[in-house]
Amino acid sequence: MQLDKWTENIDPNTWDKYIANHNGHPLQSALWGEARKTIDGIESQYICHFSNNIPDFMARVETRSIKGMGNIAWIPKGPVWDTHNPSLLTEFCDNLRRNKYNLLVTDEYSTSNNTSPQAVQTIYINLEQDIDTLFSNLDKQWRYGVRRAKKEGVEILSGQSEVKIAEFFNLCQKISESKSFELPGSLPLVNFLLTHSFNENVKFELITSNFEDQVISGAIIAKSGKNIHYFWGASDRNFPKLRGGEAVQWEVIDSGSRQGFQRYDLEGIDPINNPGVFAFKKKMGGEIVNLTGKQYRSLDGIGKVLKLAGKLLNRI
């Protein structure tokens, strides 16, 4: 029987299997959605369209509301779709409108030809290159750092205990306090992501560099399908000569390539407002690409007002 329908009745394992098959972004996964629900109380709708029994449009939708005004359907790094059939997006918007949403905000995980200074950018590292090429693509100081870390006895670990997870998170907190920025997640959220998985092809991992059993650097990455994504990272500034940060990132690249992954997404750069992080990521030898970024679609008259108010209040 051929099936052509919309549904919200998909279990987390099946959802993440579909997300992995499409190399969808981890923020569209059930793992991320259920973590946010369990830890932060944020509900998700998992909306999928099937054509001939094959999913061709998927959206994990979070509700954002501006009190007294209306509801926003927020799709972080989505929707995920292959065909880009405009009629599917039209049908999806009609469904949202019937469910009392006024504004749709998407952030599709796709490249763009937008070359404006405001374009959202990231860096992709092609993991399908051979190991020697990947290493030679690193900045020469990075190559020195990787070798230095090994020489100094820095140990690289993955699959961390709760103690090591907490140690890494405390390091992140110290850096956020010193640089006056707010961490985008909590320790309970990190613990959930690192200790749960609904499908083997969508999972989060912590990789740390350790010296004398102390975490000196680490990175949380997410694997979805054939892609790896960099989520959080931190390095202890008390150990700059041990080059733990370079060692951790090279481990991600090296092991990812050997395991058959296709791409490592460094998840965002901002040369103007965050030049230090940009310089760090650029030395890893990847390609700078522009992304589609947020798109706003008013679903009714209220949605037009929400769009303006949300931007003014920095809520969307």
Tokens read off for 33: 């959605």
Buried b (16+ CB within 10 A) or exposed e, 137-170: bbeeebbebbebbeeeebebbeebeeebbebbbe
Range of lowest pLDDT (5-14, 174-183, 200-209): 174-183
Over 60: is that where the pLDDT of 2 sits?
A: no
Q: Is 76 helix (H, G, I), strand (E, B) or coil?
A: coil
**Which pLDDT belongs to residue 315?**
62
Name the E strands within the chain: 4-7, 44-51, 54-66, 70-75, 80-81, 103-106, 120-126, 155-158, 202-211, 214-224, 227-235, 263-265, 287-291, 295-298
The predicted model gives 208-226 an average pLDDT of 96
Over 80: is that where the pLDDT of 117 sits?
A: no
- Express as a percent the part of the chain with pLDDT over 70: 97
Tokens 């008013």: give the residue.
Answer: 298
CA–CA separation, 175 vs 181, rounded Å? 9
Over 70: is that where the pLDDT of 266 sits?
A: yes
Contacts 24+ apart (CB under 8 A), 91-97: 91/6, 91/49, 92/6, 92/47, 92/49, 92/57, 92/59, 93/297, 93/299, 95/6, 95/47, 96/61, 96/299, 97/299, 97/300
199: phi then psi, degrees, rounded to nearest 5: -145, 135
Helix %, strand %, coil % of the chain (to 5): 40, 30, 30
Is 4-110+292-312's fold the same as 120-291's? yes
**Which pLDDT belongs to residue 133?**
97
pTM of the model: 0.94
CA angle 276, 278, 280 (to 5 degrees): 70
| Domain boundaries, given as residue ranges, for the chain | 4-110+292-312, 120-291
Confidence bin at 1 (pLDDT 50/70/90)? very low
What CATH class has 4-110+292-312? alpha beta
> What does DSSP assign to residue 260?
T
Residue range 120-291, CATH number: 3.40.630.30
Over 80: is that where the pLDDT of 6 sits?
A: yes
Q: Are 243 and 138 in contact (CB under 8 A)?
A: no
Please give the C-alpha separations between residue 166 and each of 21, 177, 190, 287, in angstroms, as whole numbers. Answer: 32, 16, 9, 33
